[in-house]
Amino acid sequence: MTSIYLDNQSTSPIDEQVLEMMRSVGFGNPHSSEHSVGWRASALVETAREEVASLIGADADEIFFTSGATEANNLAILGIRRFALQGKDNVARSNIEHKSVLAACDALADEYGFRVSGIEADKQGFILPRAVSAAIDERTALISVALVNNEIGTIQDIGAIRNACGRAILHCDAAQAPEAMAMKGVADLCDMLSLSAHKMRGPMGIGALYISRSIQRNIAPLMYGGGQQNGIRPGTLPVHLCVGMGAASRLAENNARERAHAALLRDEFINELRKIGLPFSLNGPSDFTRRHPGNANLHLLNVDADQLIGLLQPSLAISTGSACTSGTIEPSHVLMGIGLTPDQASSSIRISISARNKRDEVIAASHLIAAAIGRLQC
């Protein structure tokens, strides 16, 4: 049986155009500077770097390839550890950040003595400028706020948040953003920004961190080696993956039509559930213009989300708001961070639709969910 795939915020299927670009790469070490094979590989990587930079309105020398957004988040956050020597030993992050941001902030505190301040989100997942101002002081080195939330799809007003940061560095986890919003110019609104190729129709295993040229000399690397990428992120770069991320960035730069189509499919899915008469409430923004166009995070009354998803296998691929931590399942910190109880969070599911989905798939998915809930409640 073929599954209906509605978990695109977890990972998006790689685009055929991206695959074709990766197939054409050939062989070569981009850091071999003494022969033409290395020169060609290096040129391919630099073209990919320019394509990623173009997506967000940055310069190519501000883009550092990483293994993914988790590494990019860690490099951004742990990379500011030298600021403690200047009396800047506080970092602030929202309470609904991705686990990689939360864990990196905890490591900054545990291993380098930083203080970590929390920034509370409102009930729809928005980080208000006054909440940012309340969480920072003259010792704050960095603020980290995701541009688009990975569970409830909230699109933040990063311009307003930037204005509230004062002289502190602003880092944005933007892994979810390219499929959710126009990205041109976002580099002007933050100092560092993390991206992931496989969230935007590119390959797994590659991401990037934008670091404004003005702060690069202050960012400490996580690894040490041959000095590649200005020493900030050394190591031999995977040419095929870099080219794939560049191609995916080029697609994301011109995806306004796809985003609009995803939003139409998402709305059809929600409307079909209402026609069926399924009781649910929507977690996250009520204003869909400020929500990831493919995101629908639903609280289902008196339904165990993990049991529901298990019952839906292998017909439908969706996800819960639960995270597996140290071998135990715990309610989503994002959902509890916007005011849900543990029971409500454990009764919530995330549907993430893309423009590559079809209308009959989202209609069928709504009926599959309703039927499975009916069996659970018998």
Q: Which residues are catalytic?
A: 324
Query: How many other C-beta atoms can be found within 10 angstroms of the C-beta atom of residue 239?
Result: 21
- Asked whether the beta carbons of 20 and 362 are under 8 A apart, the reply is no
**End-to-end CA distance of the chain, in Å?**
25
Residue 144 φ then ψ, to 5°:
-120, 120
Bridge partner residues of 169 (DSSP): 142
* Most distant pair of Cα atoms in the chain: their distance: 71
One-letter identity of residue 9? Q
Q: Are strands 295-300 and 348-352 parallel, antiparallel or unpaired?
A: antiparallel
Q: What are residue 5's DSSP bridge partners?
A: 317
Q: What is the helix (H) or strand (E) element at residue 173, kind and residue range?
A: strand 169-173
**Residue 213 in tokens:** 């040229």
